[in-house]
């Protein structure tokens, strides 16, 4: 295992591959029913191989991920890892809620300290909630008394919102979605570089787009094969990320031993700056192949926001694109239903006021596309 470090925490080595606990092995089709024997075995195997950063959150697996992780880390395992979880910002309505949820998470995780604590899924709207309810002051109190070690945030919003949030506090780290397809989505590469310039360490989530990039179509497989490299599509995707020195660690939700072993081997072999012009050219070819299948020409610039009905317009259209681009609706639909539609930000809340359409630089017929997206992402 290779290790990197957060710029503001140089004394703490962090494994370049981290274990994400959002998509653990499950029994049947019920996300809340974690296959504890298999999941615990995978976690222990990963830790023995050098993985030392584990990521979870309040809502993962229907609220069962944190308690599972506590059980899996009983005994000597807890002291071998850095534990990261996230405050459910969308549930905060009073100043007391910051510490109330934190204390519940400490209890659920059976620990007296959360090493890396994130404000979950910040956007412009949720950042406003943090500021209004003095969330950062609460986090600082918890850091001072030892309940948390380091303060950060995960992000799901517009590029402009990311810059505002990064510039708005002395963050130690942040977590963004990034892969070779999503170079301009949400924070994107520009956000990665801005965070690095501010010495904010970056954790990357969705390196394989929920597994979609590991299941490359024949045309993409042909491009990868032309390199002569024995790398799988998943390894190509991971190595593209590890090639970037600004990234501290890459989260992967590994459900099988074969996935874990493949990712461990790739992490052990990869290094920053290893990909040359030829390899990067092939990555660009595959990216363009996927982009050609895009249904809506949305760049997630966020100019359509704010929506009077609080519809998550760019996120909804992006998830619709992903579902079509990768011929798989399952993961985008799950994200849409859990993060947006159930939170009152789904396209079904659109009142057709049309305030958004004149603002769109791509002249997208947003109202009609939102209807298409909602129907596609909610279909059974």
Cα separation of 158 and 98, whole Å?
24
Confidence of residue 166 (pLDDT cuts 50, 70, 90): very high
Q: Looking at the domain assignment, is residue 298 inside a domain?
A: no
pLDDT tens-digit series, residues 227-258: 999 999 999 999 999 999 999 999 999 999 99
Mean pLDDT along residues 44-63: 96
Give residue 79's pLDDT: 97
Q: Within this chain, do residues 262 and 365 fall inside the same structural domain, yes or no?
A: no
Q: Within this chain, do residues 328 and 275 fall inside the same structural domain, yes or no?
A: no
Check: CB of residue 54 under 8 Å from CB of residue 86.
no
By C-alpha distance, which of 369, 194, 204, 217 is closest to 296? Answer: 369
The CATH number of whichever domain residue 259 belongs to comes to: 3.20.20.100
Of 267, 284, 301, the residue that ends a domain is: 284
Q: Within this chain, do residues 251 and 332 fall inside the same structural domain, yes or no?
A: no
Q: Looking at the domain assignment, is residue 114 inside a domain?
A: yes
DSSP state string for 68-137: HHHHHTTGGGGGGSEEEEEE-GGG--STHHHHHHHHHHHHHTT-S-EEEEEEEEE-HHHHHHHHHTTHHH
Q: Within this chain, do residues 118 and 8 fall inside the same structural domain, yes or no?
A: yes
Q: Within this chain, do residues 249 and 210 fall inside the same structural domain, yes or no?
A: yes
pLDDT tens-digit series, residues 194-232: 999 999 999 999 999 878 888 888 899 999 999 999 999
Cα separation of 320 and 337, whole Å?
12
Q: Within this chain, do residues 168 and 239 fall inside the same structural domain, yes or no?
A: yes
Tokens of 105: 């998470």
By C-alpha distance, which of 160, 167, 111 is closest to 305? Answer: 160
Q: Within this chain, do residues 254 and 214 fall inside the same structural domain, yes or no?
A: yes
Cα separation of 60 and 66, whole Å?
8
Q: Within this chain, do residues 71 and 220 fall inside the same structural domain, yes or no?
A: yes
Give me the residue label for tokens 């999941």: 39
HSE (CB half, 13 Å, CA atoms) of 269?
A: 14
The tally of domains found in the chain comes to 2
Mean residue pLDDT across the chain: 94
- Would you mind telling me the total number of residues written for the chain in this entry? 380
Cα separation of 305 and 314, whole Å?
9
Burial label for 155, CB within 10 Å (0-12, 13-18, 19+), is: buried
Of 268, 284, 300, the residue that ends a domain is: 284
pLDDT tens-digit series, residues 170-197: 999 999 999 999 898 889 999 999 999 9
Report whether pLDDT(50) > 90.
yes
Give me the residue label for tokens 């659109």: 350
By C-alpha distance, which of 79, 52, 83 is closest to 69? Answer: 83
DSSP assignment, residue 337?
I
Question: Which range marks the domain in which residue 232 is found?
Answer: 3-284
Give residue 301's pLDDT: 78
Q: Within this chain, do residues 276 and 335 fall inside the same structural domain, yes or no?
A: no
Cα separation of 79 and 329, whole Å?
39
Cα separation of 242 and 249, whole Å?
8
Check: CB of residue 33 under 8 Å from CB of residue 26.
yes
By C-alpha distance, which of 246, 244, 250 is closest to 267? Answer: 250
């Amino acid at each position: 295992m290779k290790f990197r470090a957060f710029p503001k925490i140089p004394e703490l080595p962090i494994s370049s591959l981290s274990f994400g606990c959002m998509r653990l092995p499950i029994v049947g089709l019920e996300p809340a029913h974690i296959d504890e024997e298999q999941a615990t075995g995978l976690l222990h195997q990963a830790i023995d191989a050098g993985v030392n950063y584990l990521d979870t959150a309040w809502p993962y697996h229907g609220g069962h991920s944190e308690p599972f992780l506590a059980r899996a880390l009983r005994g000597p395992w807890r002291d071998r890892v850095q534990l990261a979880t996230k405050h459910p910002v969308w549930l905060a309505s009073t100043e007391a809620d910051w510490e109330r949820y934190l204390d519940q998470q400490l209890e659920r995780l059976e620990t007296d300290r959360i090493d890396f604590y994130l404000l979950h899924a910040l956007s412009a709207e949720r950042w406003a909630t943090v500021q209004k309810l003095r969330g950062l002051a609460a986090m600082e109190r918890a850091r001072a008394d030892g309940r948390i070690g380091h303060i950060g945030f995960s992000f799901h919003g517009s590029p402009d919102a990311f810059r505002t949030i990064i510039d708005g506090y002395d963050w130690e780290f942040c977590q963004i979605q990034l892969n070779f397809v999503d170079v301009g989505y949400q924070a994107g590469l520009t956000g990665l570089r801005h965070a690095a310039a501010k010495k904010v360490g970056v954790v990357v989530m969705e390196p394989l787009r929920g597994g979609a990039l590991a299941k490359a179509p024949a045309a993409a497989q042909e491009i990868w094969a032309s390199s002569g490299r024995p790398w799988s599509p998943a390894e190509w995707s991971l190595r593209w990320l590890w090639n970037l020195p600004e990234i501290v660690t890459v989260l992967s939700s590994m459900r099988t031993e074969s996935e874990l072993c493949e990712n461990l081997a790739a992490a052990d072999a990869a290094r920053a700056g290893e990909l040359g012009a030829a390899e990067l050219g092939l990555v660009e070819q595959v990216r363009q192949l996927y982009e050609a299948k895009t249904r809506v020409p949305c760049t997630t610039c966020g100019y359509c926001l704010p929506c009077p009905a609080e519809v998550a317009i760019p996120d909804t259209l992006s998830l619709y694109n992903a579902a079509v681009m990768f011929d798989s609706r399952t993961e985008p639909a799950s994200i849409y239903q859990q993060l947006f539609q159930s939170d009152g930000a789904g396209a079904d809340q659109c009142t057709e006021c049309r305030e958004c359409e004149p603002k769109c630089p791509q002249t997208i017929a947003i109202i009609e596309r939102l209807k298409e997206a909602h129907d596609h992402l909610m279909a059974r």
